[in-house]
Amino acid sequence: MKKLLVLISVIIVAVIACVSFSASADDGTVVIDNVVYELTSQKYGKYDYGEHYVVTDFFYDESLAETTTKINIVDEINGIEVKAINTNSNIEPGYEIVYPECEDKYSPVKNINIPGNVKYIGDFAFNFFPNVERIYLPVELDSFGVGAFYEMKSLKTIIIPTSCRISDYAFYGCESLKKVVLPGDGTEIGNLAFKGCKNLSAITSPYSITSFGGSAFDDTAFKKIIIPENVDVLDEGGLISGSYSLEKIVFEDTSSKKEDYVEVTEVVGGRLPSVKGIYIKTIPTEGLSFGLSDLNNLPNLEKIYFAGSEEKWNELTSEPLREALELRGIEVEFYYRHSHSFKQSGKATCKNGGTYTYTCECGDSYKHSVDKAQVKHNYGSWKVTKKATYTATGTKQRTCPDCGKVEKRTLYKLKLDKVKKITYESTIDKITLSWDSVNGATGYRVYLYDRETGKDNKIASIKGKTSYTVKGLEKGYSYIFKVQPYNKDSKGNVVFGEKTTANTRTLATAPKNLVAVSEKTGVVKLTWESSGEWISYNVFFHTSKEDLIAGKTFEYPHYDKKETATIKNLESGKTYYFKVHINDETVDGVKTSNIVEVTVK
């Protein structure tokens, strides 16, 4: 494997001359702009990316760490993609982790460019970049490891790709982090994932979360934490074990599915002195896990809002809990979820205005007076006052019967369709083009495309016909024609439709005037007239003319577009018979030349 890596390194040195590049024969690594890459086929959990390069270190020359402000990771090396970043493999991941401290030696770096084909970011990959403010993660990133962005103290924004789980300790200690955007699909958040993010007060798309890890939002700036329905907290220590900013805990009802239990205990893992309200919008079917120890961790809790009846509350909670709430003076407020569905009645017109009454089935109602300017006009149907043509716009109007207001609109010009399909018939020197008529067309232009200039040259303008014959063409040659319909009115105004292209070909002819000569020992040279441009040929020969005619031939693998061929290693003094066959279907008559004979010198 080392020999292979060294060989690849040597090749890359020759190819990539525009970047700083070096390779080490000892460890088989490749260095580009002081980013160290290693060729590997390592698997990352369930992910197998085959042979790829992986970033193993960011600074080959440690002295550059004091001045470098931007790191660009290349997307491929000599055709092999860079698919992983795994720079801190010496740190063993796990739940009993010795937290690595952020290294200040890379403090000047503020920007890191990660290419789109990177699929995996390893454990603690970026924890030694304290001043990087934003990292754009690849959309198709599969996963990132434990503490991948650990203590990146200046990181402000992160957008998580759809397929990624937020790993344990992922953004631990990112104290400047303010914005986290989660994907629309289900997202798992690992243990202590955002612990110590002192400026993080919310996350975008919280309803996409499917599970929380323990202490995931400890020591953050959250004032409200939303627990979507049917979401698990995967640690007995609780989702939040310490926060001085959290004021509300909301168990959100997000679907028609019903929870068996609402687990308040799983959320309250430690002292939360600022929490004043718990909102239970999800009504469980079996029970409500809310213990006396939770009350001790919520010393300033004032109210619990329960989206159900008092009977349901008593059914789901224990008597000791209810007594403790009463003793502490914590109120339980019962309410029923209801969205008003108002029906409108009354009438208002654009002439005089009026009043609308809105009534809900629950009995709630309100009235709303509107000015005539707020009422939509009751327009009738449109009437055409001037028809649109292919070269001029038209007009239409409609009238409100209540106030007499007239509304006018412009009718757009009629659109001239393009010719749908062009067919053609060929001879060796002319091509006849034919097409179906286009509705509204008063004539057609025919163009010949010039390959050298890239221009369409007009060769005809036709009225009253849908065909045209082009004469004086070269045999066996490809031509590109285009047909464009147009409409010309009585005032001389003209509008053109789109052009339609036809790839055509004149017929080729059989190879003529085949000549064979033998001037060198064992060699015969053949020449013949051209059958047309872009035509290729096969050469056949035999020592018997009858066998050659009967198709028992020796085929010379010519397949060339030149009108000459040289056949070698023939038997000296022997007579051979030759013919040339054209490799083309568009041929006028036969495809094979005359037969010639020659005695080999």
What does DSSP assign to residue 103?
P
d(C-alpha 507, C-alpha 274), whole Å:
90
Confidence grade of residue 560 (pLDDT, cut at 50, 70, 90): low
Answering whether pTM is above 0.75, one says no
**pLDDT for residue 450:** 93
Do β-strands 35-40 and 29-32 pair in parallel, antiparallel, or remain unpaired? Answer: antiparallel
d(C-alpha 303, C-alpha 298), whole Å:
11
Higher-pLDDT residue of 254 and 355 is: 355
**Domain 515-599, what architecture?**
Sandwich (2.60)
**pLDDT for residue 514:** 95
**pLDDT for residue 2:** 32
* Most confident option among 194-203, 236-245, 290-299: 194-203
Quick one: three-class SS letters along 427-452? CCCCEEEEECCCCCCCEEEEEEEECC
pLDDT above 90 (res 553):
no
pLDDT in tens, 569-590: 999 999 999 999 988 778 888 8
**Where are the strands (E) in 160-285, listed by range?**
179-181, 187-188, 209-212, 224-228, 232-233, 240-242, 248-252, 261-263, 268-271, 277-280
pLDDT above 60 (res 9):
no
Is the separation of the CB atoms in 299 and 272 below 8 Å? no
Cβ neighbors of 320 (< 8 A, separation 6 or more) are: 292
Structure tokens at 163: 């397929």
Among 254-263, 309-318, 588-597, where is mean pLDDT lowest?
254-263
**pLDDT for residue 93:** 45
Taking alpha carbons only, the member of 32, 127, 121, 51 closest to residue 85 is: 121
pLDDT above 90: percentage of residues in the chain = 38
Confidence grade of residue 367 (pLDDT, cut at 50, 70, 90): confident
Do β-strands 209-212 and 47-48 pair in parallel, antiparallel, or remain unpaired? Answer: unpaired
pLDDT above 50 (res 25):
no
Domain segments of the chain: what residues? 343-374, 377-413, 422-505, 515-599
**pLDDT for residue 18:** 37
Structure tokens at 381: 């149907």
Is the separation of the CB atoms in 14 and 20 below 8 Å? no
Is the separation of the CB atoms in 140 and 47 below 8 Å? no
Query: What is the chain's mean pLDDT, rounded?
Result: 84
Structure tokens at 159: 């957008």
d(C-alpha 33, C-alpha 314), whole Å:
68
Q: What is the dihedral of CA 390, 393, 398, 403, to 10 degrees?
A: 180
**pLDDT for residue 100:** 52
**pLDDT for residue 15:** 35
**pLDDT for residue 103:** 54
**pLDDT for residue 16:** 36
CATH classification code of 422-505: 2.60.40.10
**pLDDT for residue 57:** 86
Same fold: 422-505 with 515-599 = yes
d(C-alpha 516, C-alpha 523), whole Å:
10
Q: What is the mean pLDDT of residues 158-185?
A: 86
Taking alpha carbons only, the member of 499, 507, 459, 462 closest to residue 482 is: 499
Higher-pLDDT residue of 162 and 380 is: 380
pLDDT above 60 (res 460):
yes
**pLDDT for residue 24:** 47
Half-sphere exposure of 209 (CA within 13 A, CB side): 25
Structure tokens at 48: 């197998």
Confidence grade of residue 462 (pLDDT, cut at 50, 70, 90): very high
